[in-house]
Amino acid sequence: MTSNCERDGNSFGRLPDHLLIEIFIRVPASEWTEISCVKKHWASLFRCECLWQAALAKNFPLADRAKRWPGPIPRGLCKRRFMAFYISKHMFSLDGEEDEIVGHTYLFLKEQLELSVMPPHSGILHGTIIDQFIACGKSRDLAHELASLIWLAVLDNLEENQQNFCLLKRLAQEGDFFLPYPYTRSVKAQWRVFERLFTDFRDCFNHVDYYDILACAKSKFQPIPSACVYLEIFIMTRNVSITFIWYYCRTMFEDGSYFKFNYNSY
């Protein structure tokens, strides 16, 4: 005899698709991946544009009022729009506003950097982001600020694996060329590349790579202040990790024990 639980489960499985969609979009989006793994039919619903259209209307009711924008980064279908709104809301603090284009730009940069075959130069990607924001009516200063936030968010969310180590190493070794403001990447975004390499990805280095990347860091961030001032500035501001400071500075002076002593003291 079939148990009550089995009967209830079968009844739930026989619900029409529009009711299943109404149930799913009321569950937190962080659990949708697990839900889609329960049944093949449920997984197919999450590939359907109808579910994402309903989720977009429920979670971001102002999305229908958004106008299409000019520029090189397209808006995409409902699933991509939902992802863009979700990223804008949960990853970026924009004074309570949910700016869809910020989420789309984050997705664009992340996808372009993850291309395994001939990814574009970071300068081209940054210029595309700036052009997109300016085309949407942002000021040059705001475009530069938003682009910097997006670069930092993408770099901070890179998983620790060999592919992303190679990506960061490529970004660190890219040649610099002069571009007018706001088409130059912020120093903070460039610094974050080296910070992640020398902290989260330090175990991926071999001897040659380590000194190559260290030489790139020296060339990008010269002149270097004296040891004591250098450490005090960055430790007080907490802009970078102490580990990176020690890695970076210890080859600048013959006596590396000074840095090791101060590093351990903090």
Amino acid at the residue 125: L
- What is the C-alpha to C-alpha distance for residues 229 and 234, in angstroms, rounded to an integer? 9
The enclosing H or E element of 216 equals helix 207-220
Q: What is the pLDDT of residue 257?
A: 39
Q: What is the pLDDT of residue 130?
A: 95
pLDDT in 10s for each residue of the chain, 266 residues: 444 444 444 555 578 899 999 999 999 998 999 999 999 999 999 999 999 999 999 998 888 777 778 889 988 899 999 999 999 888 886 654 558 899 999 999 999 998 867 778 899 999 999 999 999 888 999 999 999 999 999 999 999 999 999 999 999 998 767 778 888 888 899 999 999 999 999 999 998 999 999 888 888 877 544 434 444 444 444 444 545 555 555 444 444 433 333 434 33
- What is the C-alpha to C-alpha distance for residues 196 and 41, in angstroms, rounded to an integer? 41
Q: Among candidates 151, 216, 214, 217, which has minimal Cα distance to 186?
A: 151
Q: What is the pLDDT of residue 232?
A: 43
Cβ atoms of 190 and 151 within 8 Å: the answer is no
- What is the C-alpha to C-alpha distance for residues 250 and 82, in angstroms, rounded to an integer? 47
DSSP state of 31: G
Q: What is the pLDDT of residue 3?
A: 46
Q: What is the pLDDT of residue 15?
A: 85
Q: Among candidates 203, 218, 243, 192, which has minimal Cα distance to 262?
A: 243
In order of 10, 63, 151, 219, the CA distances from 172 in angstroms are 55, 38, 14, 11
